[in-house]
Chain A
Amino acid sequence: MDNTRADSSGSVAHAPNTMQMMSMGSASRRRRGGRWRTFLRNRAAVVGLVILVVFILAAILAPLLTPYNPSQQDLAMVLQPPSAAHWLGTDGSGRDLLARIMFGGQYTLIIGLLAVTLAVLVGVPLGLISGYLGGWCDMIIQRVTDIMLSFNTFLLALALVAVLGVGPTSVIIAVGIGVIPQFIRLTRGVALSLKQRVYIEAAESFGASRASILWRHLLRNAVSSIIVYATLNIGVAILVAAGLGFLGLGVQPPAAEWGTMLSEGSQYIFSAPYVSAFPGLAVFLVVLGFNLAGDGLRDALDPNLRRG
């Protein structure tokens, strides 16, 4: 949002001399330890991390943790309320809701992770090039970013799904493209603020190539901000992907995707509200986990980067 305020942590403000190089290894380890301690002192961030670890483990270990098959219909057990046998109850086809939420976590987490990876791989180089090179290159990239930002992430993903069709791959591409402008703006801001620094000018005067400056100096200084932004945007990507699923434009039934499950459950809102309430709670908790952990990472890694 306020990417123009995004800045590096400023930890590498000068080119190191030989003496500094010798103590660099231990200093960097100390810094990492300090950041980790700052993160762990933040109670909200730890809560976020715990939520994420629980959901990630539940998704990975789902086949071992639940005796139920998430796709196995059991018409004798339709719309059972939560009980000892079915902790979260069963859905309209008699499938165990807890099993479906655990297996569905695999879709949700993978889609969120891959969409943001796509956005980082495309958005970060474009943002750095745009900020560092400036001129017509910056102008073109910024106008395209403006156009993309005139839709929000969800509307852009929605429009792209209209073109790409439904299914997991389309959702990953559509959500990934929807998030790209955020990373372009972020890294452009970092490149703009860093390119005036003395050590970049020094590197240029020693004949360092543009590619080397982009890779060795700008990208390395942007890494903290990128990690923070990526964590927060995985939450956004999950919300958008589940939203597409809810509209019937994402992962298709009978797959156990949380947005799709929420949509299927909404028809039983009068008789069995828990069928839609639990998948929604799962989306909420995971996004909350990414937001809390992302805020904690921001405070630990890059206090200059503030979100509205």
Chain B
Amino acid sequence: MRFAKYLGKRLIISLITLVGVVLVLVLMTKLIPGDPARVIAGLNASDQEVARIRQSMGLDQPVLIQFGHFILNLLHGNLGTSARTGNPVVGEIATRLPFTLELAICGTLIGIVFGVLLGVLAAVRKGTWVESVVSALGVMGISMPVYWLGLLLIILFAVQLKWLPVAGASTVNSIVLPAVAVGVSLVAVISRVTNSSMIDVLGQDYVRSVRAKGSPERVAVFTHALRNALIPVITVVGLEFGTLLGGAVLTETVFGWPGIGQLAVTSIQARDYPMVQGIVFVFAIMFIIVNIITDVMYTVVDPRVKLHG
């Protein structure tokens, strides 16, 4: 019951944030220097044609009316029509979204698996060269431009070694290099957090008791300490998901991965505002959903966590 109440409150706050995102998106079209209708119509279009496009997009309406239309259309599953292709925005996003989700999920998994492993390794080998190496890799990972890492991976594994495809999404192997590129910064952040969190937990009385009663070290580390040390890691996965999506936009461009990140860049270059609005909205929804999931996961991993709206 308490959980349902918490989840309800969390959903309402998320809904308010989403409404705010829509308001910002609508306000953005007002702030655009120049006339979006003119850009869409093309330089040679007549004034009547520009006026017709302006009217059909609702750009001649006050902000609040545009905001109302956007919300109303949204409730009908409609995010408008692409100015570039003339196709419904929802359809184009729906075709490409699975690719971005696949990339984000694989990147997150790489980040969690390798980040936690490195973090635990550094914590149990505290004060040795292992901790120094993991720490150095951590700071290098967060400093690494994802687009540069992507190019280096292509040069090494696709051009020199010819192990994996250079670009595209035609084979099963195609996901490997983009997912590694997207996941590396997450590995870096998660290894840092797991390291400090594990050091904290390994020093606690209950872990000392486990060791004192003669349990093997791996039982103390993996069965008793890791579960508690994972709580901050869950927060980081939620918070870093936005960074991961940002990285996905760049990675998709580097690897020609046909997701919504690549679509976003093409749309911005073509000044396709309805498409840009739709994609930004979808990114915001993804970020909010992931953060609700991570909030809920706290209670699964640690039942002591008190739920506050």
Binding site for B on A (CB under 8 A): 1-2, 44, 143-144, 146-147, 149-155, 158-159, 161-165, 235, 239, 242-243, 246-249, 259, 262, 266, 269-270, 273, 276-277, 280-281, 283-284, 287-288, 291-292, 295, 306-308
Contacts and interface: CB of A to CB of B under 8 A. Distances in A.
Interface in B30-59: 31-33
B255 to A, nearest CB: 11
Given A151-B242, A308-B189, A308-B232, A284 B147 contact: no
Contacts of A269: 151, 154-155, 159
A239 B147 CA distance: 10
Contacts of B143: 235, 239, 284, 287-288, 291
B187 to A, nearest CB: 13
A308 B159 CA distance: 35
A150 B147 contact: no
Contacts of B246: 152-155, 158, 243
A295 to B, nearest CB: 7
B232 A243 contact: no
10 contacts: A143-B20, A154-B249, A155-B245, A155-B246, A155-B283, A158-B268, A247-B249, A248-B269, A270-B159, A273-B151
A149 B17 CA distance: 10
Contact of B243 (A154, A161, A164, A270): A154
Q: 6 closest pairs, A vs B, by CB?
A: A280-B148, A152-B242, A154-B246, A288-B143, A147-B20, A287-B143
Interface in B254-309: 254, 264-265, 268-269, 271, 273, 276, 280, 283-284, 287-288
B8 interface: no
A155 B242 contact: yes
A74 to B, nearest CB: 25
A262 B276 contact: no
B74 interface: no
A283 B142 CA distance: 12
B253 to A, nearest CB: 6
B32 A308 contact: no
Nearest to A164: B33
B285 to A, nearest CB: 9
**Quick one: which of A44, A150, A249 has the most chain B CB within 10 A?**
A150
A162 B276 contact: yes
Does more than half of chain B's interface fall in helix, strand or loop, or is it mixed? helix
B234 to A, nearest CB: 12
Given A143-B20, A246-B147, A280-B145, A159 B242 contact: no
B145 A243 contact: yes
Contacts of A280: 145, 147-148, 151-152
B239 interface: yes
Contacts, number: 139
Interface of B: 13, 16-18, 20-21, 24, 28, 31-33, 136, 139-140, 142-148, 151-152, 154-155, 159, 189, 192-193, 196, 232, 235-236, 239, 242-243, 245-247, 249-250, 253-254, 264-265, 268-269, 271, 273, 276, 280, 283-284, 287-288
A222 B196 CA distance: 25
A165 B283 CA distance: 21
Contacts of B154: 269
Nearest to A258: B145
B77 to A, nearest CB: 21
Given A147-B17, A150-B288, A242 B276 contact: no
A291 B137 CA distance: 13
Contact of A249 (B142, B265, B288): B265
B291 to A, nearest CB: 8
**Quick one: which of B196, B246, B271, B276 has the most chain A CB within 10 A?**
B246
Contacts of B20: 143-144, 146-147
Contacts of A44: 136, 139
B145 A283 contact: yes
Contacts of A165: 33
Contacts of A164: 33
